[in-house]
Each structure stands twice: as structure tokens, then as C-alpha cells.
Amino acid sequence: MAEKYLSIPEVAERLGTSPRFPRRLIEERRIEFKRFGRHVRIAESILDRYIDSCTVTPVRRIGRVRRAA
């Protein structure tokens, strides 16, 4: 199956951000991208990996913490 490449507006829509955010990720080299002439595209699998790497798991507290008066 062929890889699907997303444009900047498509990436922004998937992330729920403005197009400025994916452009900044590209400029700072924080995400892999492909350049086809003057067009910049991000592979769907790369975007999925980026989203997975940004996932923060919650920390479970053990016991109840009380503050001193």
C-alpha cells in the first residue's frame, strides 16, 4: 500500500492547530518531512509516530498527601 503524504493544512487539521504549528515543527526539524519541489509534505505514518511520542501518561499517586498547617 502506498504511503499517504499530507499537506501542511491537512496536518494542522489533524492536530487541531493552525498551519503555523506544523510549519514551526518543520523549521525546527522536530518532525520528518519530504520536499517535492517547493511542496512540503509529511507522511501519515510519521505524523502518527510524532503524536504517539508526544503522549504523556498520567502519574498515579499512592496514598493521600496531606499538607502541614
Taking only the tens place, the pLDDT of each residue in 26-61 is 999 999 999 999 999 999 999 999 999 999 988 887
Q: With a threshold of 0.75, does the pTM exceed it?
A: yes
Beta strands 34-36 and 5-6, pairing class: unpaired
> d(Cα 12, Cα 16) in Å, to the nearest integer?
6
Least confident range of 4-8, 18-22, 55-59: 55-59
pLDDT of residue 10: 98
Run of H or E residues at 13: helix 8-15
